[in-house]
Amino acid sequence: MAHYQVTIAYDGTGFWGFQRQNAEGEQPNPMTGRTVQGEIETALRRLGWPGGTIRPAGRTDTGVHASGQVIDLFLEWRHSPQALCRALNAHLPDDVSALDVRLAPPDFHPRYSAFARRYRYTLYCQPDRHALRERYAWRVWPEVDLALADAAAQLLLGTHDFAAFGTPPRPGGSTVRTVWQAAWSATEQGLHFEIIANAFLYHMVRRLVFVQVLIGQERLSLDALKDSLAKGSPLPSGLAAPQGLVFCEAYYGLTGE
């Protein structure tokens, strides 16, 4: 039985997040709905997958997208990894696709083998909604000052306790994270925030975006963010909308791209 590393993309609009909410083999809970994990595992069973649980690089929330999610799986497959990629796509729904399949080292783990992850958030500033942009971006108004937002992003660089911005995957886990890159830029699609860190807390990116938007709208000071990072000072509650967030990439060094 071979060990595979699979890169997945999905449009999170129609999903209640990545993680399956029901036990293996059970029908989706009608009170929750589809999950990315559930759809992938259903497709794998049609290829002879023996079952179990696929492991992701990160668990995205309801409505969050991915262009570079990574999973691993064990499967008896007599053909090439490229053929497995095509076969998997033949059984996946239109809003999920396998981008790459490769053999993985025996000790590969999508989450624990990754030394960093990259997320991108998109928003646009407009008083009235735009039907074609709402699916993948958060509309905010008043306008966000790009220079102020980017100044806030620079404060995130380095190692900090991000307890005010999310919760750890495990109860009682550390809330200290190291941010290597964080910046805002303007594009035709709107304003992009990109961040690379060794790991993220639950809701961390959406929380960071929300606070930076307040700063860019001059509703919160840069000093308030500084104090929160240095002393844990409280900040206004809130999260950026999920549809603006994309999990872009996990970095694995020699074990993957």
**First vs last C-alpha separation in the chain:** 23
Structure tokens given for 127: 């008083």
Per the document, the length of the chain is: 257
- Do the beta carbons of residue 45 and residue 103 sit within 8 Å? no
Q: Which of 50, 67, 49 is nearest to 58 (CA)?
A: 67
Q: What is the Cα–Cα distance from 155 to 151, expressed in whole angstroms?
A: 7
Considering the candidates 61, 95, 161, 227, report the single residue annotated as catalytic: 61
DSSP state at residue 218:
T
Alpha carbon distance 111, 64 (integer Å): 18
> Are the beta carbons of 72 and 59 closer than 8 angstroms?
no
Is 11 noted as a catalytic residue in this protein?
no
Residue type for position 52: G
Kindly list the distances between the CA atom of residue 155 and the CA atoms of 100, 124, 194, in Å, as whole numbers in the listed order.
35, 22, 14
Q: Are strands 96-103 and 158-161 parallel, antiparallel or unpaired?
A: unpaired
Both tokens of 170, joined, read 């495990």
Tell me the chain's radius of gyration from C-alpha atoms. Answer: 19
How many angstroms separate the CA atoms of 230 and 140, rounded? Answer: 28
Catalytic residues: 61
